[in-house]
Structure 1
Amino acid sequence: MSDVPDWLEPLLTRLRDTEAGDFTRLPTPDDEGQRQSAVLVLFGEQPESGPDILVLQRAATMRNHAGQPAFPGGAVDPTDIDTIACALREAEEEVGLDPATVEVVATLPTLWIPVSNFLVTPVVAWWRSPHPVGPADPAEVARVERLPIRDLVDPANRLRIRHPSGWIGPAFRIHDMLVWGFTAGVVSTLLELGGWAVDWPTDRVEELPAPGAATVG
């Protein structure tokens, strides 16, 4: 991994010893009919804003997860040889990412999302040769953003969101987006493991906006 920048190395070192419990309180089921899926957690760097993470916003017209933030990703297809192949394929299909420009550096523990009954494997990659990306299919993806780590760790951009179910989890209000749920949980843990996080007001708790009320939710 000679192309990986020095600032990313501490995170990769700590990821070797992580378990699912570091990312979620929910135990991962053994095999109860869950569908396998993968997402791409893509780290990049820009001269003006420094290290960043790529996310997309799903189209407001989608039947499921409308308007929500997410990493590129989706269900494993029969043609995917593994979850890494799935994450790269989905990123290419959703945002036009060229898989040849990234270097996969780690896979996180498989995590369970009860609401969709998916088992999700986050695939961590370094974007060694960035290129323009955007919604490959506007019917599915509304926008694509590279969120600078310096903005993600800014206490002014951090809060917790309370879901109507009573669940409370980390969130980020950044770039006119409200990032919450699974995506925010993974990002929050990675910021801690990377040594980038700073103290933030965890007592700042807001109710989850109604569907369509938030730019990203």
Structure 2
Amino acid sequence: MTLAERLRAALATGQTRDPVLLERDDGDFAIEVGEPLVPAAVLVPFVDRPEPTILLILRPETMRRHAGQIAFPGGRVDPGDDGVVGAALREAQEEIGLAPSLVDVIGSVDTYRTITGYQVTPVIGVVPPDLVLTPQPAEVADIFEVPLAHLLEPMNHVEQAVEWQGRERRYFEIFWEGRRIWGATAAMIVNLGRRLTYPA
């Protein structure tokens, strides 16, 4: 069974479970009631290795928002996109030079509402190993892979709390070789782990 086949089976099983607990990072205070959310999408690229990995990017320190943070390739859904899948594939091509034809799209998982007013849909895709990718310098400082087993291991999901706007805000951190994955990206990984049984 290929990685794509195992992921499709795991996702089909996982979608029958109760909804995940962590759906947003804004609590009940960051976005005004009735304020529209901006549709966005990210590509979660599973690299088809004997021990699968997930590809992530590091945002440059020069960015106005999310400077120096680890993320998935992605961004807002544009009017010309073919939905969230089209947006995720377009953004991955723009940000890291990943051709859409190289992505075997598996499906999407629970949307995640960010503190900045975006409703983000993670799109799962499988990509071949050892691709030559080209980061867009204004948006991507580095491209790297993290073992899937490490990311989905609940023991590696460290829950933290911080005081923000007078209230406690909780978030997850995942560490890998000195890199800190946190915020919306870590939350989406936690959600993914709750939806998927690790496809061993």
Q: TM-score range by the shorter chain?
A: 0.7 to 0.9
What corresponds to 1:62 in structure 2?
A: 63
Alignment of 1:71-82 (within 5 A): 71-82=72-83
What corresponds to 1:169 in structure 2?
A: 171
Match of 1:42 among 40, 45, 62: 45
Alignment of 1:2-151 (within 5 A): 4-5=3-4, 7-17=6-16, 21-24=20-23, 32-47=35-50, 50-113=51-114, 115-128=115-128, 131-135=131-135, 137-151=136-150
SS at match of 1:93: helix
Q: CA deviation at 1:139?
A: 1.9
Greater relative CO (CA pairs within 8 A, separation 6+): 2
Deviations 1:23-80 (A, max 9, x none): 4266999963221111111112324xx1111111111110001011111100111211
Taking only aligned residues, the RMSD between alpha carbons, in angstroms, comes to: 3.0
Structure 1 length normalisation: TM-score? 0.75
Aligned pair in 2 of structure 1 residues 116, 88: CA closer, same or farther (>3 Å)? Answer: same
Given that residues 81 and 87 in structure 2 are in contact (C-alpha distance below 8 angstroms), is that contact kept between their aligned partners in structure 1?
A: yes
Query: Within 2, Cα distance between the matches of 1:134 and 1:163?
Result: 36
Given that residues 110 and 122 in structure 1 are in contact (C-alpha distance below 8 angstroms), is that contact kept between their aligned partners in structure 2?
A: yes
What corresponds to 2:158 in structure 1?
A: 159
| Corresponding residue pairs, total | 192
Give the percent of matched residue pairs that are identical in Structure 1 and Structure 2.
32
Query: Within 2, Cα distance between the matches of 1:134 and 1:11?
Result: 31
Query: Within 2, Cα distance between the matches of 1:101 and 1:116?
Result: 31
Structure 2 length normalisation: TM-score? 0.81
Q: CA deviation at 1:16?
A: 3.0
Aligned pair in 2 of structure 1 residues 167, 12: CA closer, same or farther (>3 Å)? Answer: same
